[in-house]
Chain A
């Protein structure tokens, strides 16, 4: 962050990456006090904190972090529809984590290897995300290859979120990434993990004509507005106040 001021950073990309991290962090924060074991209280909060840290750096590159987080409306957010999906049961949260952290890990590794404006940020984030990915993979194995109930729940969760995964590979303006290569690596990784978890790769489409790239263009799913209402309420109730 020392060599790149906001002027040289592609704002669209900073918002896309920053909003992904912000929104997923918020969703994980909803688990606090509700996790299935104390160790998971710690782990989920830890991942949420990492993501929030990433979001703060990225949003600050694009403007004022709090203005961007608390004063934009739904149609101005650029996050993937995947990360805004409600937590559901623990399997849904893990499936969402598996799909997203695998993507984020591959993406940050590629950005870190390049010399673009996001390379320094990605170099730091990739270490955190490697941990997130490991956590999601381990739980995918435990749930998929655990009991009949957990297998069935994990299967349903993977199926339900599958249709949001195609959106991750729509090109983002300002990110110099070979999206097709990223997508094939992602597919290969997720296929391998699901196989080891005794699950099969879902059969449905990974995007619909109605959803391709939609989150990146500010078109979201219905629960997202409600999430923002909760997140922004207090900040908006005290215009201009500092906290």
Chain B
């Protein structure tokens, strides 16, 4: 922001751009300079259509992941084994709904609407993270999701706090703070199980065995197969490649697994002195693409539940809208008016 202003080349606004298309090249130049200078692009700034479209796609997918991601964990709220754990889990699922709300708001600054995005989720035209297509089969899965899935999400999202698009970057700052907390809670849950009875330890190990590889897949396809990577990195939406982030995550997790007293299900996992990083085995990319195409264990179930909640809630949203319309003269919902008495 500072540079453009200092140079006296105030960033053109999007509305202006449409009126004077001849200046497009100049706008592009200002945009490129702002990105190069690590400035933030804001909603009223001119931006390339493809930049806008990529951000909408990515932020929407991120928001959808928060919303669908409530399901595998909510699956255990009613069965949590202690009241303390139940409270932690409820708070976490509530946070996820809140993250979804921040992210839909961030996407809306780009000229779309939450309703439109939800419609695309429900009709399968926009995706959510493939990790949430795996089932939570035991209580330990709640811990594995916290430790591994939230851990992978944080590894992905911390660099997004410096993303070139301001509203997304700011949403990520808030989201990451809460996610880090969830991640520690997940770790602590697994630690309690690992140090518990033999049955609890086995439950924890089984969960880690099932969630490890899907968590590595959260970083997306390998760099040479990632369609959006190069452009996103040039625009400073992404700061690191999929494989870089995946490696960083593995390097963080291995010592954590050791202190948990659990093993990671990869016979090829070993320290590489030369690289100063862990080598690890090959991801089953066939599985990854299958899940992405909709053929994972829970794809159908997740989308069906989301659609059902939306459809069954339609009359409630319609009621709220009708009520607001009737009382639009006053502040939002009734509360301060005496409509009942007037009608009676």
A-side residues, CB < 8 A to B, are: 22, 26, 29-30, 32-42, 45-46, 48-49, 52-53, 55-56, 59, 65-66, 69-70, 89-90, 137-138, 141-143, 145-147, 149-150, 153, 192, 194-198, 230-231, 233-235, 238, 240-243
User: Which B residues between 88 and 110 are near A, CB-CB below 8 angstroms?
Assistant: 90-91, 93-94, 97-98, 100-101, 104
Assess the B97–A231 pair: CB atoms within 8 A: no
Cβ contact within 8 Å between A198 and B339: yes
Interface contact B79-A230, CB-CB below 8 Å = yes
Complex Cα gap A202–B318 (Å):
25
In the complex, residue of chain B having the shortest beta-carbon distance to the beta carbon of A55: B83
Task: State whether the Cβ of B70 lies closer than 8 Å to any Cβ in chain A.
Answer: yes
Q: Which of B80, B200, B326 contacts A241 (CB 8 A)?
A: B200
| Minimum C-beta distance from B109 to chain A (A) | 17
Q: Are B83 and A32 in contact (CB under 8 A)?
A: no
**In the complex, which residues of chain A have a beta carbon less than 8 angstroms from the beta carbon of B192?**
242-243
| Proximity string of chain B (298-325) to chain A, C-beta cutoff 8 Å, 1 when within and 0 when not | 0000000100111011111111101110
- Does B82 sit within 8 A of A, measured CB to CB? yes
Asked if B196 and A242 sit within 8 Å, CB to CB, the answer is yes
Which residues of chain A have C-beta atoms less than 8 A from B53's C-beta?
Answer: none
Nearest 3 Cβ contacts at the A-B interface: A36-B313, A146-B319, A196-B340
Known: A30-B78, A37-B316, A238-B197. 6 other contacts (CB 8 A): A34-B312, A36-B312, A42-B94, A52-B90, A66-B82, A142-B319
Asked whether, in the complex, the Cβ of A26 is within 8 Å of the Cβ of B315, the reply is: no
C-alpha spacing A41/B309, complex, angstroms: 11
On whether the beta carbons of A196 and B338 are closer than 8 Å, the reply is yes
Distance of B95 from chain A, by nearest CB (Å): 9
**Least distance between B286 CB and chain A CB atoms (Å):** 30
In contact, B79 and A90 (Cβ under 8 angstroms): no
- Tell which of A33, A45, A59, A153 touches B71, judged by Cβ atoms closer than 8 Å: A33
Evaluate contact between A234 and B90: CB separation under 8 angstroms.
no
Contacts of A69 in B (CB 8 A): 83
Q: List residues of chain B with CB under 8 Å of any chain A CB.
A: 67, 70-71, 74, 77-87, 90-91, 93-94, 97-98, 100-101, 104, 139, 189, 192-193, 196-197, 199-200, 305, 308-310, 312-320, 322-324, 326, 333-335, 338-341, 343-344
Q: How far is the CA of A221 from the CA of B180 in the complex (A)?
A: 42
Give the CA-CA distance A185 to B193 in the complex, in Å: 49
Q: Which A residues are CB-close (under 8 A) to B323?
A: 141-142, 145-146
Q: How close is A15's CB to chain B, nearest CB, in angstroms?
A: 14
Within 8 Å by CB of A34, from B84, B85, B305, lies: B305
Q: Name the residue of chain A whose CB is nearest to the CB of B321.
A: A146
Q: Give how many A-B residue pairs fall within 8 Å (CB-CB).
A: 167
Q: Are A41 and B70 in contact (CB under 8 A)?
A: yes
CB of A231 within 8 A of CB of B334, answer no
Query: With contacts A195-B344, A238-B200 known, is A33 near B94, CB below 8 A?
Result: no
Interchain CA distance A224-B154 in the complex, whole Å: 40
Query: Closest Cβ of chain B: how far from A85's Cβ, in Å?
Result: 16
The reply to whether A29 and B305 contact each other, CB–CB distance below 8 Å, is: no
B residues near A52, Cβ cutoff 8 Å: 83, 86-87, 90
Closest residue of chain B to A94, judged by CB? Answer: B316
Q: Which of B74, B81, B326 contacts A32 (CB 8 A)?
A: B74
Chain A nearest Cβ from B320, distance in angstroms: 5
Q: How far is the CA of A66 from the CA of B81 in the complex (A)?
A: 8
From A41, which residue of chain B is reached at the shortest CB distance?
Answer: B97
The smallest beta-carbon distance between A227 and chain B, in angstroms, is 8
Bound-state Cα–Cα, A53 to B86, Å: 10
Q: How far apart are the CA atoms of A196 and B335 in the complex, in Å? A: 9
List of A residues within 8 angstroms of B334 by Cβ = 138, 141-142, 145, 196
Cross-chain contact A49 with B71 (CB below 8 angstroms): no
Q: Which residue of A lies closest to B69 (CB)?
A: A33
- Given A33-B305, A37-B313, A147-B315, answer yes or no on A45-B94 (Cβ-Cβ < 8 Å): yes
From B335, which residue of chain A is reached at the shortest CB distance?
Answer: A138
Evaluate contact between A241 and B197: CB separation under 8 angstroms. Answer: yes
Q: Which residues of chain B are near A240, meaning CB under 8 Å?
A: 197
Complex Cα gap A138–B319 (Å): 12
Q: How far is the CB of B344 from chain A (nearest CB, A)?
A: 6
B101 engages A146 (CB within 8 Å): no
From residue A59, how far is it (CB to closest CB) to chain B in Å?
Answer: 8
Least CB distance, B133 to chain A, in whole angstroms: 15
Give the docked Cα–Cα distance between A92 and B206 (Å). Answer: 40
Cβ-defined contact, A45 with B83, below 8 A: no
What's the minimum C-beta distance from A26 to chain B, rounded to whole angstroms? 6
